[in-house]
Structure 1
Amino acid sequence: MTGRMIDMTIVGGGLAGGLAALAVHRAHPELRLALFEAGETLGGNHRWSWFASDLDTLGKDLLEQFRKVEWNDGYEVAFPAHSRRLGSSYRSLASHDFDAALRRALPANTIRTRSRVAELLPDGITLESGEHIPARVVVDCRDFLPTPHLRGGWQIFMGRLLRTPEAHAVPRPIVMDADVRQHDAYRFVYTLPLGAHDLFIEDTYYADRPLLDRNALSGRIDRYCERRGWQGEIVGGETGILPVITGGDFAAYRRSLGPPGVVRTGARGGFTHPLTSYTLPFAVANALALAREARLPGEQVAAIFERRARRHWAAMRFYRRLGRMLFDAAAPAERYRVFERFYRLREPLVERFYAGNPTLGDKLRILSGRPPVPVPAAIRALLGKGSPLVHERS
């Protein structure tokens, strides 16, 4: 590929990069694309889930390419003082199905795994091997990196895929079971019945520090499964640490990513839900936007996405404020009360909240009534800066 100009190079074969490649190819099959991923497979080892209401018709059409698990009978949440079943349809996509679908849909030689990129410039990329690939448009879709420019906390999780010898009889997803010991963080367990004998169980924490203790989390999943009466063979799993962004200097963060002229999207570009760390709805929207602009010169596409990033940052301000109250106004063991109160609100509001599209009325309703955190602490949290999103040195 050295020396041959291509139309678009996409760096990072995760959710944002894979969907971008698919959307551009579907809209412009004549364009020459290249998708570079440092790992061995696209998507790594992950599971992405979302509510059907998170996506519009075009977004749902883009995801039709992928084999996924669908639940149309609602989902459940549980807290110490409140439990509820909601009616929203839910979806989940595993990374191995993501990888398989993209390999079927994209032209031969588009995907290059085990290809780590050393340098991204507006006119091309250079791999660690020294190979240079000129490109009209360069798109950076790599994962988020810790940064002193942004502030907040962390979402830490360990997931386990359990295969039970007998049918487990879990009828629908349990998206949030916070009726568990909190362990100095907002803790909940997330369970997906992927099949009659397959359960995906994930232990999740909204924590101040980005520390993942595998032994401790594995033991807690063991005890949770014992309590629920679930037994079986562990056939897979995942772990992760995601940012929960509560503030910072977004312009400085974007400048720190590299030279102008490169299209920056995905989690590294700042396109996440600040409070839930969801990325799928934004990855879908950005993939479709990239497809609409794919014929433009790279610098013009980069400028369009710079504006999209700034608009997204502004639109997510409400969530960042909620995040500051969660991390800086509530004692760690009491943080669950914020979500417990939220899940008493009307279901359409809950749907819009997760999709990142709350109305003014939704915001007023969320903030009205008796607050789940002390008012003086909430005021201090809103006036404070929060902690930088950097990993601690051991």
Structure 2
Amino acid sequence: MYAPAMARTRDCDLLIVGAGLAGGLIALALAHHRPGLDVVLVGDDPAIGGNHVWSFFDSDLDAAGADLVAPLIAHRWQGYDVRFPSFARTLRATYHSIESERLDAAVRAALPADRIRTGRRVLTTSATAAVLDDGSRIEAAGLIDARGASDLTMLDLGWQKFVGQELVLAAPHGLERPIVMDASVPQIDGYRFVYCLPFGPDRVFVEDTYYSDGPVLDVSAIGDRIAAYAAQQGWSVASVGRVETGVLPVAMGGDFEGYWRAGGEGVAKAGVRAGLFHPTTGYSLPDAVATALLIARMPDLDGAALHDRLHAHARARWRSRGYYRMLARMLFRAGAADERYRMFDRFYRLDERLVERFYAAHSTLGDKARLLAGKPPVSVMGAIRAIAGGQVGAEARA
């Protein structure tokens, strides 16, 4: 006669799979607001957050969100510049940058060392467990999967892709504040602009960015363009430090429910895996902060409760952002690729508060009307086709 199998002992209260921005912020928020909770964080990169610079405006976060990320901020500037072929402008908004090294240090200080398992790949997940690449299994009351994108073929996408290099210069660069968008450069592979963050008198992070139809990133060619841009600014480069690459989805439409299920049936999700990113810009930091605080406030963190609450949260965000997906369709489909810059040229001539609300995905009805008012910077028929393009099929059902 066989004795009944013993139930496996739970290893932790909450298991976070994915130690990037979304997973790291969830761990930080729980350490601050729920210090008695036993949290385990697993990620395949040796460093929490990988190798990234994330930037945001003051208006992107509420007070609680600002408090959460305050220790992570490495650089802060009052105001930023934009440049286009026909005009340039300085805007007054406060701009911040976070370097991934600070996220790594903050999470390691907040969690016990044995609860952080970096450099480990997760093979499978369920609502309450994960199997790692060495065959070991971690059991939890609840699990959140924040490993990044799942099946992006479920979504109708363009791409924002970039290569960034931190340049150490032989002499001061002379920048007083960031250049968030320099579109005076030659237009290549869609809408191209250069982004510059002055990290110090002789250090500047230069990112060459493209709103492109495809995700392929030619790192070598873009590196050569960064060198040419630096030379054009009169900067003599002594060395290159941090190098960052990225390919962000820009959502024009798609099947949200199909995308959610593709990331794991019944599994709670956060970050890009949950479809939580700005549809027009691809940026995910404001959503990652808001989701981390939402989780920290939840009274019940078991697998089913987490799944239902985070699914409802992500679905509500997706449904509320149809306007931004429509703008993305206009950007990618209403005109020629090398004319895409004209939409941002027009956008940056508008009221500063409208610009801030747009980046925070909090545009008012008046903002939305203003963005579409007047003669569009693309063909009228192209704009009509782009606006109508998401009103049928999966986008309408999402």
Tell me the TM-score normalized by structure 1: 0.95
Question: Contact (CA 8 Å) 1:24, 1:294: kept in 2 or not?
Answer: no
Question: 1:301 maps to which residue?
Answer: 306
Alignment of 1:270-349 (within 5 A): 270-293=275-298, 295-349=300-354
Aligned to 1:21: 27
Q: Distance in 2 between matches of 1:117 and 1:294?
A: 27
In structure 2, the partner of 1:169 is 174
Match status 1:47 vs 2:53: yes
* 1-structure distance, mates of 2:102, 2:37: 25
1:343-374 Cα offsets, whole Å, 9 max, x none, are 01000000000011000000000000110111
Q: Which position in structure 2 is the counterpart of 1:68?
A: 74
Q: CA–CA distance in 2 between the matches of 1:243 and 1:330?
A: 20
Alpha-carbon distance in 2 for matches of 1:304, 1:337 = 40
What residue number does 2:366 align with? 361
Aligned to 2:242: 236
1:317, 1:9 → 2: CA distance?
Answer: 32
Aligned ranges 1:1-394 → 2 under 5 Å: 3-72=9-78, 74-232=79-237, 233-260=239-266, 262-293=267-298, 295-384=300-389
Deviates more, 1:206-215 or 1:186-195: 206-215
> C-alpha distance in 2, partners of 1:184/1:134?
46
SS at match of 1:193: strand
Query: Are the aligned partners of 2:73 and 2:97 in contact in 1 as well (CA < 8 Å)?
Result: no
Q: C-alpha separation between the residues in 1 aligned to 2:28 and 2:299?
A: 12
Instruction: Give the CA deviation at 1:107.
Output: 2.5
Contact 1:294–1:301 at 8 Å: present in 2 too? no
Q: Displacement of 1:3 after TM fit?
A: 4.5
Compared with structure 1, are the counterparts of its residues 44 and 301 closer, same or farther at alpha carbon in structure 2 (3 Å cutoff)? same
Distance 2:335 2:175 in 1: 33
Aligned residue-pair number: 383
| 243-252 vs 292-301, which moves further | 292-301
Does the residue aligned with 1:88 lie in a helix, a strand or coil? strand
**Residue identity opposite 2:40 in structure 1:** A
CA positional deviation for 1:145? 3.7
Distance 1:145 1:300, change over 3 A: closer
TM-score, normalised with respect to structure 2: 0.94
CA contact (8 A) 1:117 1:126 kept: yes
Task: Write the letter of the residue equivalent to 2:64.
Answer: L
Q: RMSD over aligned Cα, in angstroms?
A: 1.4
Contact 2:171 2:235 in 1 (8 A): no
In 1, Cα distance between equivalents of 2:307 and 2:318:
16
- Distance in 2 (CA, whole Å) between partners of 1:90 and 1:101 is 21
* Amino acid corresponding to residue 75 of structure 2 in structure 1: V
1:391 alignment counterpart: none
Structure 2 residue runs without a partner (length 5+): 1-7, 392-398
Distance in 1 between the 2:265 and 2:18 partners? 18
Letter in 1 for 2:339: E
Are 2:335 and 2:382, in contact at CA under 8 Å, matched by a contact in 1? yes
